[in-house]
Amino acid sequence: MKKILITGGAGFIGSHVVRLFVNKYPDYQIFNLDKLTYAGNLENLSDIDQKPNYHFVKGDIVDAEFINQLFEKERFDGVIHLAAESHVDRSITNPMEFIFTNVVGTVNLLNAAKNLWKENYEGKRFYHISTDEVYGALGETGSFKETTPYSPHSPYSASKASSDHFVRAYHDTYGLPSVISNCSNNYGPNQFPEKLIPLFINNIKHNKSLPVYGKGINVRDWLYVEDHARAIDLIFHKGQTGSTYNIGGNNEWRNIDLIKKLIEILDHKLGRPAGTSLSLITYVTDRAGHDLRYAIDATKLHTELGWQPTIQFDEGFDATVDWYLANEKWLDNVTSGSYQEYYRKMYGE
């Protein structure tokens, strides 16, 4: 019976990965390790938290002693590492927090895995989930490939680039069986409303300002979160050791066009005259070091492992809006901070 540690499993992407693994692999024991910072919410997993193969552990990957003791106690066969500070604006304000979590925390996990497995790597795997932002920015054409040189422009992307390099170094130096994936922007249910789509859904609903950086011409590639979870499952089980895989939606949108699409959908769903919420758009000073365009070439993942997105954007976008409108209590709990009561209720702390 395999024991899999998923770090950051109470977060947005992590909760979808935990749910997929718990439901799809009843013979695996799935351990969700999360510090439960502002973005970690156990309510995201309330539908599976009573399953016999699910285990929650509260802890910080920056605490090396704790991590070493956890690995020694549970004897994990695999690690899927999602825990990270991930919001660019926060990294500009407080870069050290990103260095500790994203770099030091990753190295703590690498050391614990290396020490536990002691070069007996048969059936073991360390899977590190990263971001397309490590590659820097693109012009109007082209896309990021796995061979694209790294050129991070924010403290967040620099910290993720550093953690990627450490994972590769542990593979090359110690033979640690690892894989890395770099993914484009995700959207879908359970995303903390500091990110663009849930933030703007919430603001449109409450007639609040929609702050748009610069002229809103920055371009991002968007992928539905459940398609990302399926890719992670596939790479974890079938990806080539030592390889990197890019994951993308082949679905590029300028920020301003995405926002206008949100307004169109929400005005209709909220029974407002078309275009009512356009007046909420407010252009603000551009973010420092703001990359103009990201685009992912996921050919390798499709060619080697047969993955491709299954959720069309119109379908996924509409379903995402519906979810946030239907889960007002979840959104209210998150924005007020009261979601943390769920942990105290469930675990008595």
Residues 6 or more apart whose Cβ sits within 8 Å of residue 222: 184, 185, 186, 187, 249, 251, 252, 253, 258, 313
Of the residues 60, 77, 133, 291, only one is catalytic, namely 133
Q: Which of 31, 49, 48, 36 is nearest to 10 (CA)?
A: 36
Of the residues 54, 127, 156, 245, only one is catalytic, namely 156
What does the block give as tokens for 91? 């990294």
Of the residues 34, 132, 146, 227, only one is catalytic, namely 132
Q: Judge whether 132 counts as a catalytic residue.
A: yes
What does the block give as tokens for 244? 């990197």
**What Cα–Cα distance (Å) separates residue 279 from each residue in 81, 173, 195, 260, 265?**
41, 56, 21, 11, 15
For residue 129, the surrounding DSSP H or E stretch is: strand 125-131
For residue 267, the surrounding DSSP H or E stretch is: helix 255-269
Torsion angle (degrees, nearest 10) of CA 185, 186, 190, 193 = 20
Catalytic residue annotation? 132-133, 156
